[in-house]
A and B are shown apart, each in its own frame.
Chain A
Amino acid sequence: MIELLKGFMNGLFQPAIALTLTIVLVSALYKFRRVVTQNKLVASLVVASPLLFFFVSAFDENFWIQFKRPDNIPIAAMMFLVVFFTWFALKLAVDNDDRIRDGRPPKEAEPEEEEKVFVWPDLVYSELLCLLLVSILLVVWSILIPAPLEEPANPQLTPNPSKAPWYFLGLQEILVYFDPWLAGVIIPTFIVIGLMAIPYLDTNPKGNGYYTFEERRSEIFLFQFGFIVLWVFLVFEGTFLRGPNWNFYGPYEFWDPHKLVPLTNVQLSEFIWARWLGIGLPSFWLVREFFGIVLMLVYFIALPVWLASSFLRKYFEQMGLFRYVIFSHLLLWMVLIPIKMYLRWTVNLKYFVAIPEFLFNI
């Protein structure tokens, strides 16, 4: 019975299913925000779910092997903290949204909150308290769990799996689906540029200095999609679910280095020329990759134009041309990541455009 359950859970954590589930859960959290924040039972379940997962899973010996690695403990803690603070902010947002709907100001704008207090002692006191608590946490943690030290560095002996530092594991996961120049250089650059661009792209004047969801629905959802789904979830997957040869292993699966996973990835050009047209690949790269290049041009040039007159019309009008071009491209890059993942999982698509002649693959 337990084995069956473990098998079911391993299946549930298959990247395709787990990513979909994460998207669904984040959407559900915001969709059913009233139940999630106001029903005590549901609220406790949501907040405790990461703790429950790690606590119950720790009884499984295969999960325990990964979980007990000292460097993985902060990642487990992070899962809890991210869920807790997302929920907590949502609770404050729902309260404020209710107040605003009743025509009252948000809690942060109540007259008594506007009252001025002295920094000494009021703020200094809570800073000191925070400092003490964090110090205690850090000292106790450091005494209880020694920092690991592995074998001396040896360039001749590659460990399997070789993993980047944990906070970059989301990028290493994206490396499965994109060429290194995209996953390792372009996408990180766009993440940083995109984050820095947020204040200049967000033209919504509402929700400045107080928690709210209803006044900033799409902004908050977009940000959380990037943060929870494409960053935190992928870090979790890279840490706990990626084993030898970067193969997927369910949480309760043994990391067998001999696990064989068939690699049958197919280029878009092979789909079109070989499978559909049945005439084999043309030798000249421009002809061979013609369809892929057109597809990318459509995605990055025609699609934003079309979106400007349909789904994103509101944004286009608010932002103006220049900001809209930047916004739509950052958005399309972000959305390309899950699109590419799903295409890999469903039809084994390798690259849209593959020009090894120039080391250029998308």
Chain B
Amino acid sequence: MSWLGNLKEKVGTPSQWYSDFTRTPVWKSIFRHKLPNDPKNRALVVLTNVFLHLHPVRMRKQGLRVSYTWCMGGISFFLFLSLTVTGILLMFYYRPTAQHAYPDMLDLMESASLGIMREMHRWGAHLMIITVWLHMLRVFLTGSYKPPREFNWVVGVLLLVLTLLFSFTGYLLPWDQLAMWAVTVGSNMARATPMMGAEGPGMQLMQLGDVPLITAGSDVRFVLLAGRFVGEGALLRFYVLHCLGIPFIFVILLAVHFWRVRRDGGISGPGKGGKLAL
């Protein structure tokens, strides 16, 4: 049976396969480092990977502690990614018109196989709002907005506002009673904007002779809803904002936020990043 022994030798063991495979030009062209189990390769794995390079190579041990960070920023970011993926899948099934929106939701519920994308999107969205709030609470309670991180807190507040706007615009898309009336209640506020809403203080000042400039057909609420009430125009507008407009700004601010975490000395701590004032 020597041919069997020969065959074994030729085929090799899984660990041999692995080491052979990692020597191929294809593998080497993708990964610029060896197995990251020594300092040099642990540094290289972070430095040569566009996703991992958001991280520093090394960090203070204290920044690792989940008791310190609660991991809320990370969870919020992960939920954002998960919402992006489920959102893209949902877009395949959904048309933002008064005629199709609601029937598309029914189709999604009844005919799409393994249909938990809508659930994952909705519950993920609720959860993201909560985790973003808790992230803010953690950053406040550890004083992490103090110098040198003041500006990153400001970016964080903008991201929080955008998270709420994300959810608010998405709220309308199912085009059911809950959606329409929640957005009606929310957008009615815009009517009362000083100088810019048809029922806001100061709108009387916005007149040319006898002609009012700010009416229900020209105020900020009209701009938001593309109409005098929540209708098809609002649906399209909210859809575009939800899927393109807000994500566009959000991703830019997210990049600034992460970049500044790195530039301002990594996860906050009493050591190098922040000054320890006892």
- Which A residues are closer than 8 A to B by beta carbons? 71, 74, 77-78, 81-82, 85-86, 88-89, 92-93, 100, 105-106, 108-110, 112-124, 126-127, 130-131, 134-135, 138-139, 141-143, 145-155, 157-159, 162-168, 171-172, 179-181, 183-186, 192, 195-196, 198-200, 202, 205-212, 216, 220, 223, 227, 358-360
B23 within 8 Å of A (CB atoms): no
> Known interface pairs A120-B46, A198-B140. Does A205 touch B146 (Cβ–Cβ under 8 Å)?
yes
> Known interface pairs A82-B134, A360-B201. Does A206 touch B78 (Cβ–Cβ under 8 Å)?
no
Task: Establish whether residues A146 and B64, one from each chain, have CB atoms under 8 Å apart when the complex forms.
Answer: no
Task: Establish whether residues B231 and A109, one from each chain, have CB atoms under 8 Å apart when the complex forms.
Answer: no
Nearest-CB residue, chain A, relative to B123: A141
Question: Which residues 180-223 of B sit at the A interface, judged by CB distance below 8 A?
Answer: 180-182, 184-186, 188-194, 197, 199-204
Task: Establish whether residues B123 and A184, one from each chain, have CB atoms under 8 Å apart when the complex forms.
Answer: no
> Known interface pairs A199-B149, A210-B142. Does A153 touch B271 (Cβ–Cβ under 8 Å)?
no
B141 within 8 Å of A (CB atoms): yes
Task: Establish whether residues B141 and A150, one from each chain, have CB atoms under 8 Å apart when the complex forms.
Answer: no
Interface string of B75-118 (1 = CB under 8 A from A): 10011001000000000000000100010011001000000101
> Known interface pairs A142-B119, A147-B123, A359-B203. Does A154 touch B177 (Cβ–Cβ under 8 Å)?
yes
23 contacts between A and B (CB under 8 A): A105-B276, A108-B62, A116-B59, A116-B60, A120-B52, A123-B59, A126-B66, A127-B74, A130-B71, A131-B74, A138-B124, A150-B176, A153-B177, A158-B181, A162-B181, A165-B167, A166-B126, A167-B164, A168-B164, A200-B150, A209-B276, A211-B141, A358-B204
Q: Find A208's partner among B58, B197, B268 (CB 8 Å cutoff).
A: B268
Residues in A with CB closer than 8 Å to B274 are 208-209
B239 within 8 Å of A (CB atoms): no
| Min CB–CB distance A73 → chain B (angstroms) | 8
- 17 more A-B contacts (CB under 8 A) besides A89-B141, A149-B109, A196-B153? A85-B70, A86-B137, A105-B276, A114-B60, A123-B55, A123-B59, A139-B120, A152-B102, A155-B180, A159-B181, A162-B182, A179-B192, A185-B193, A208-B143, A209-B270, A209-B273, A209-B276
Residues in B with CB closer than 8 Å to A210 are 142-143, 269-270
Residues in B with CB closer than 8 Å to A209 are 142-144, 146, 268-271, 273-274, 276
Those 10 A-B pairs whose CB atoms lie nearest each other, nearest first = A184-B189, A142-B119, A199-B150, A180-B192, A208-B274, A209-B274, A113-B62, A153-B180, A181-B192, A74-B126
Q: How far is the CA of A359 from the CA of B175 in the complex (A)?
A: 33
Residues in B with CB closer than 8 Å to A100 are 278
> Known interface pairs A131-B78, A138-B124, A208-B274. Does A115 touch B61 (Cβ–Cβ under 8 Å)?
yes
Q: How far is the CA of A122 from the CA of B66 in the complex (A)?
A: 12
Task: Establish whether residues A168 and B64, one from each chain, have CB atoms under 8 Å apart when the complex forms.
Answer: no
Task: Establish whether residues B189 and A183, one from each chain, have CB atoms under 8 Å apart when the complex forms.
Answer: yes
Residues in A with CB closer than 8 Å to B269 are 108-109, 113, 209-210
Nearest-CB residue, chain B, relative to A113: B62
Residues in A with CB closer than 8 Å to B270 are 105-106, 108-109, 208-210
Residues in B with CB closer than 8 Å to A186 are 194
Q: How far is the CA of A5 from the CA of B143 in the complex (A)?
A: 42
Residues in A with CB closer than 8 Å to B102 are 152-153
